[in-house]
Structure 1
Amino acid sequence: MSEKRFDPSNLHKLDNPERRKALPPEQILGLLKLNETDIILDLGAGSGYFTIPAAQLTKGQVYALEVEKRMLEALRERVDAEGLSNVELVEGAIEEIPLQDGLADHVIASLVLHEVEPLSKGLKEIQRMLKPGGNCLCLEWEKKETPQGPPLHHRIHSDEMKQAVEQAGFTVESVTFPTDSHYILIFGK
């Protein structure tokens, strides 16, 4: 496991009331303007913070990519408990997504791109996964000291991320700052 990857023993930190108040998943997903048949790929799905509400907002398939088996098992339990039939769990890394090209209308990359090595490879995979006209919601930690989150040297500044996605051939549609510690980039193919 890369030293940048999230430790699955901290799974409880991924979904808690404070995080939901600061970063409400349904409200953030609203930035994607989802249609009921859209296909969504959630990268580094973790405990399903975005997977579950995305699956409730669309009748299309939601693919939940996760590299850690323990997180996939926890997500499977949540999906089953919610009675969702449109979620497919996929074990794999963002750097080599084991799915066919042009699969998704939308990609969600929530607090995971700072873990990708190199970032350019992850962005290339997002490019490959998106249908023409598709877009990606990238929620990330701003590069500044905060009480929570990854070490400063793992974080990617919002300006650097914007430059990286543009260099990867994407068009930045919007940049917002939902908290002092986070930014959201919506970028399209």
Structure 2
Amino acid sequence: MHERRFNPENMAKLDSPERKAVLPPESLLEKLALNENESATILDLGAGTGYFSIPVSERTSGTILALDIEPMMLEVIRSKTKQKQIKNIQTIEGRLEQIPLEEESVDRVIASLVLHEAEPLQQALSEIHRVLRRGGRCACLEWEKQETDQGPPLHHRIGSEELTHSFEQAGFTILETDHPTGAHYVLVVQK
């Protein structure tokens, strides 16, 4: 397994009540500015166990594309969607640096706690720019570059200023920066 990649043996942490209390998925999903009747195509990068894919599927009649490199994670999402009878989530195995989608094929992108795994980061941001339609938004949640009890090692983290600059270099406009916790930040960008 790649040293930056989340270990699927720790997947229980992804759906923990503690995580939902600190980082409720609804607050990030609000930043996508989805209309209830909008049939948007939403790409969830590093979808994990469906922490964002499942709640966003209830907000749109469109398609949710849950992308992850780890087949075990995608199987968890498929199991949850079958159990909950969710019909608008499709799972895709793939890498952030080579998103297996056509140009300008998605309206929104969720990149939650995953961009620090990208190597190189600019390639992943270029791929997000490539697959996002003009005017589309990306909501990105990341770890601030500071020591914390949880999360990736400090040398893997991307500080908010650095990621802001990287998104701008990739051709995005920054719409919003927020710090929901002392350890996390959210960037909302638009193509």
TM-score normalised to structure 2 length = 0.97
1:3 match: 3
| Deviation (angstroms), 1:107 | 0.3
1:44 match: 46
Distance 2:188 2:54 in 1: 20
The 3-state SS of whatever aligns with 1:57 is coil
Moved more, 35-44 or 138-147: 35-44
| Deviation (angstroms), 1:26 | 1.3
Distance 1:57 1:42 in 2: 14
The 3-state SS of whatever aligns with 2:58 is helix
Q: Structure 1: 5+ residue runs without aligned partners?
A: none
1:177 match: 179
1:23 match: 23
**Aligned length in residues:** 189
1:150 match: 152
| Deviation (angstroms), 1:27 | 2.0
What letter matches 1:110 in structure 2? S
| Deviation (angstroms), 1:187 | 0.4
| Deviation (angstroms), 1:78 | 0.9
The 3-state SS of whatever aligns with 2:166 is helix
Distance 1:81 1:129 in 2: 30
What letter matches 1:126 in structure 2? I
Q: Does 1:137 align with 2:135?
A: no
Distance 2:128 2:188 in 1: 13
Identity rate, percent:
53
What letter matches 2:148 in structure 1? T
Q: Does 1:33 align with 2:33?
A: yes
TM-score normalised to structure 1 length = 0.98
Runs of 4+ with >2 A deviation? none
The 3-state SS of whatever aligns with 2:67 is strand
The 3-state SS of whatever aligns with 1:32 is coil
| Deviation (angstroms), 1:15 | 1.0
Distance 1:63 1:6 in 2: 20
